Amino acid sequence: MPEILAVCVALVTLAGGGAVAAKLIKLLKKLSDAVDDWQGEPARKGVPARPGVMERLEAIEAQLRPNGGASARDAINRVERTVTRLSDQFHEQLRQQED
C-alpha cells in the first residue's frame, strides 16, 4: 500500500511540475518575443528586417522636426499657414461686405 501512495504522490508531483514548467515556458516565450520586438530582428532569407523600438522612435522623431519640406512637421506648418491665410482672406471678405 505505501508503494501505491508513493507512486501517486510522484505522479501528482510530476503533473504539477509539468504544469508549472509549461507556464514558465509560455512566460519565457512572451518575454523572448518582447525582447525581439524591442531589439528588432535582422533580415533573413525571404523575411525583411524588423526595426527595433529605438530605430522606430528615431524615425518618428525625425517626422516631428522640420527638414525642408518632407517631414510631417513641415506638412503641418504648411497647412497651418494655408488655414491662417484663408481665414484672413475670409475675414477680409466679410469686412468688405459689411462696408
Q: From residue 18, give the alpha-carbon distance in Å to each of 50, 77, 85, 91.
A: 34, 60, 70, 75
Residue ranges of E strands in 1-99: 40-41, 50-51
Domain boundaries, the chain: 1-41, 64-99
Whether the model pTM is above 0.75: no
| Distance between start and end Cα atoms, the chain | 110
pLDDT tens digit at each of 99 positions of the chain = 788 888 888 889 999 999 999 999 999 999 998 998 899 999 999 989 999 999 999 999 999 999 998 999 999 999 999 999 999 999 999 999 987
